Chain A
Amino acid sequence: MAEKVLMKGNEAIAEAAILAGCRHYFGYPITPQTEIAAYMAKKMPKIGGCFLQAESEVAAINMVYGVAGTGKRVMTSSSSPGISLKAEGLSYMAGSDLPCLVVNIQRGGPGLGGIQPSQADYFQATKGCGHGDYRMIVLAPSSVQEMASLTIKGFDLADKYRMTSMILADGTLGQMMEPVSLEEAVINDYDKSWAVTGTEMKRKKNLINSLSLVPEELEKLNFERYEKYKLVEENEVMYEEYMMDDAEVCVCAFGITARIAKNAIAMARAQGIKAGLIRPITLWPFPEKVLEEAADKVKGFVCVEMSMGQMIEDVKLATKCKKPVSLCNRVGGMIPSPEQVLEKIIDADKGGNE
């Protein structure tokens, strides 16, 4: 194993991207993700890569579109308001079936909001943030180590399925340092015969485009794309189960709130309440099956989110509302405390929530 070093979550993403073979980064600075761009600005020129600070987020995502079309690994990163600006480009990427990695280190919203951490872009990330029918693979790291490993995974999945992978983290994970060990990434060789690399007059030209004016053809493209999404749903779901073996209350949380939930679960267990955690690592595809199975065993669910309650809708759908699901939340840059989560666990244990 590689030596453990202390790194900020943002830096771990940047270094992992380089390990994953990404040599093209386009971005525009915004707190709390600027360390990613700063790291890339320092490193890329030294390894023959390209760091470019674009004139705007819109420009950056379209530069990503360009490089993705050549089949090279490429990424951009931003924080919430910046991702909204990239939404158009993300829809075009989906319409053109291009792979890329996009990082969202969320901050409080809506609008310009604040600069403190948030998870309120869950809907935006998982329900398609631009127009049209499409999906992105959404990965939610919960530690600095996962900021690195899911970045590598994200590039792999993007190439495998020719679609966007998004890292959905928040200001806390971006700014905090933890020990991380960075290993050489395994870079799988996926077919990229679709890429625009110059025909050298030896093959038919490739065309990358999201315009399709014949409804029958556009419908077919959409159906085909959703066949691909079905494969992602079947094969790529990731989650962590924590103390679920005998759990009577299931906490559901992702990213930073899952860590807070673990503290609360330890406190609940000390009081004799059997609480456990299901932590979705992929937010799309959502770990529906494990949640539905849990619904047959537990008294109720507590969803911990730094939003007004977004993932809770998917938890209710996945569990088919078989058991009560309550929300424990803070918003606007505030972070729930373990004590607040504990209170909700106690309520759920009594069956006291709606």
Chain B
Amino acid sequence: MSTKQILIAGFGGQGVLFAGKLIAYKGLIAEKQVSWLPSYGPEMRGGTANCSVIISDLPVGSPIISNPDVLVAMNLPSLKKYENDVVSGGIIIVDSSLIAEKVQRDDVTVYYVPATKMAKDEGFATLANMILMGKLMKACDYIGFDGVEAAVSKVVPPKKANLIDVNLKAIKAGYDFE
């Protein structure tokens, strides 16, 4: 890898920014250069939210992503909006419990993960985002699983430390999903 651009997109409230922060910390712990840029403003409340994470061996130039290497789509509007921006040979990870449609492109690798349903079934209904991050770690060897505990304990606020384990469980579920 030299520079990888990851775009995570969905509705406000799905934990898009939190998921991005986890990946950014993962990069930081692996001693990569990273940047994390959220969409901000009124759209954060219930509208679309997205988060751009760049992981690089070199200092990060622009933190703005126009052509992601990886798109994680957590709702249909996000998939529609960004599907065609993904680089050829890139990766798209879709929450297939929320998005019934298939990706139209045939030059990218697509992973359909019923993350929202899995999260509900496993009893951690709010952690579909972490399941998708687990899949992302599996799909991208430059992110990988190593150091995940450290990254999770960085992003979960100290007052909610009791939630570290369940987050790890959700990530593992996504990582193991075939």
Contacts and interface: CB of A to CB of B under 8 A. Distances in A.
Given A176-B37, A178-B36, A260 B61 contact: yes
Contact of B21 (A177, A259, A266, A337): A177
Nearest to B17: A177
Contacts of B41: 31-32, 115-116
- Which of A172, A176, A262, A337 counts the most chain B CB atoms within 10 A? A176
Contacts of B36: 6, 176-178
Interface residues of B, number: 20
Q: Interface residues of B: mostly helix, strand, loop or mixed? A: mixed
B28 A4 contact: yes
B104 interface: no
B77 interface: no
B121 to A, nearest CB: 32
Contact of A338 (B25, B38, B61, B154): B61
- Which of A6, A177, A262, A338 counts the most chain B CB atoms within 10 A? A177
B60 interface: yes
B164 interface: no
Contacts of B38: 175-176
A134 B119 CA distance: 60
Contacts of B61: 259-260, 262-263, 266, 338
B35 to A, nearest CB: 5
A172 B21 contact: no
Interface string A1-41: 00010100000000000000000000000011000000000
B88 interface: no
A309 interface: no
Interface of A: 4, 6, 31-32, 115-116, 171-172, 175-179, 256, 259-260, 262-263, 266, 335, 337-339
14 contacts: A6-B24, A6-B25, A6-B28, A31-B41, A115-B40, A116-B41, A172-B37, A175-B38, A176-B35, A177-B21, A256-B62, A259-B63, A335-B64, A338-B62
